[in-house]
Structure 1
Amino acid sequence: MIESWRWYGPFDKITLPEIAQTGATGIVTALHEIPYGEVWPSALVASRNGEIRAAGFDWVVVESLPIHERIKRGEGDLSELFANYRQSMANLAANGVKTICYNFMPLLDWTRTDLTAPVARGGSCLRFEAAKMAAFEIHMLGRAEAEADYTPEALQMAAIWFQKASETDRDALLHAIMSGLPGAFDRYDIAGLRQALKGYEGIGRADLRANYQRFLDEVVPAAEDLGMALCVHPDDPPRDILGLPRIVSSGADITWVLNAVDSPANGLTFCTGSLGANPTNDLPALARQFADRVHFAHLRNVRKDPDGSFEEAAHLEGDTDMAAVIAALLDEQKRTGRIIPFRPDHGHELLWDAEKGTHPGYPLIGRLRGLAELRGVIAGLRHRD
């Protein structure tokens, strides 16, 4: 497997020379400075790729080439947006970058309520607290329908939290929820988020699937022609949120996606954290089931609570049998000869990570620990063969 590392380019506090010391050989990045829906210029792709190569890496995966919200909503004439997406694909392929991780989550990407939840032996992690999310939806955003999405216990705890929360606490919660958005665009305050949600009024699961089907119909043939692999990232968290449907959260959802356009170019990013937060998912079984369409892997672990809360665990310490997942991917490589890139994901902030001021979930030391642990699992599993 190709050891890779997510790098936010000019937005990242971690430098390529620092990443080189982790032992990773592949870079996962994007042109985060380009607004959603615009073409990624070939010259800028080439410049970023040249910078990566000069530092001794290969740009192995684009994460992400974002999908404009109008495509997700199926709103208006989308021909220019689809053409721009295909042109960006072509510009990437022309520069030798041929794997694209993307998601079809409405409005928000990964969502957490705490960016620095304490870890038992020191450090901090990302956490999704059901009660705090309920407090945000019901008491801050004013979405009354949200009451049906949470347990009575979570609703009670949400009311208590909101009553005790200071303005600073509420601002921190909004900041945490907005922090999953990559790049420099589409951050919202409460009023802005309410307005953005209006664009999704009346759009249910079937509607979002239909819009996703249209996207796949428009771009997968281009990926085939370019020799590219598209790989959808599962929903994070794997549940409806803010009244928005999530449609890539389970094995049944993934089956639908891969059958929507049955092509090797239409694949999956196997994220053990996102899929692992759904208590109904058996991750080793899913890895074996979909291994032939996995083009990229995010390897991290979560620890779940009965009320739907979860937090990022150390890479080998959560609810997911990481060794069994990796074994399934290694078996796929052995069977086909293709090499799957992976990256350690959402590490704990450890030691002086907090002083670095990196993107939430993407510290240096915490991910270095995760990469080292995953490297050890891979070495051990290869030794068995």
Structure 2
Amino acid sequence: MAISTSDYLSATNPELKAKKFTLTIDGGYEASVITYGAVITDLIVPDKDGKPTDIMLGCKGLDEYMGNGANHGAVIGRSANRIKDASFVIDGVKYQIPKNEGENNLHSGNPGYQNVFWDGKMLSEEEADEIILDSKIAGIPGCDGGAVLLSYTSPDGATGFPGNLDTKVLYCWLEDKTFLILYCGKSDKDTIFAPTNHAYFNLRGENAEGTVNNDLIMINSDKITIKDDMNVPTGELKDVEGTVFDCREYRFIGELNDSDDHQMVISKGIDQNFCLNTTAGTFSFAAAVTAPESGITMECLTDLPGIQIYAGNNLGSPLDIKTTKAYGQYDAICLEAQLVPNAVNLTGFDSPVIKAGKKVYHACGYRFV
């Protein structure tokens, strides 16, 4: 296993510079992350013929990532996804955050995790394993070689959220070919800590022709959260049995995107939170995607109770290109392990609020089988 580092420079402003870390393990597995937005820029795995295949959509460079409305590969937070009316109450105090999607809030705002520079450093395998053990999330295999640790403190009042929130993200390969994202948050006030990663995957390759509609998806879920016409969960649950949302066995992604179910129509394709049959505190199977053409199968594992499945319904901006292919609608699939969106305003779901002084971990991993 090896880790290399390099400067990741702006093409237009010499004062803007991120650092890039590349983590490589035996078998042809490689991941690159940068300190801007904690972005995963590349994820290279072998296809069925052993050909290295970059399955991570992205942007051309730092300038493009900084203007990246699609949040390619970025850590999202403090609060991923949507909060209704861009407001919430903690300890009897009402907080107002930016209304950046109609009357609601999407992905916290600016500055959020996805649009700031993080500090980054390399860790040894032993140091990474200590952090994994400290998380007390059961079932995470050991680190394969070293790791990268990114750190950022979101200041009290940033986009309206309370508390100085110290955040760390550990990236590493695990012994079973899982690429791990381990989040840690600790605040000096009660606040929301509900991160995710907005990676866009195409298991045939980020520059492959065609959409992901002919790839297959499986989701370990019996229920979805119903969303209103502005894509915000209402608190209502719906059984997937007998619906297009029943992905407990593999089905084509295109069946979801082409459905006339009103939930799909609202979002122009799949963009839905599934309530997972995961076990709290355990690194559990959440979902899988397989691409018959490349032979690549990727599983998603997490301790979190929800996963947002999104098929790049709104891709198509001039910045949505990394190498040779300009991305468009349905050119990717996102498996965003998360807390249930808008849970801060709902009952019956795990709360995104963490108590002051308490360290909280969440994990998401992408395993190649």
Name the TM-score, length of structure 1 as normaliser. 0.24
Greater fraction helix? 1
Name the TM-score, length of structure 2 as normaliser. 0.25
Greater fraction strand? 2
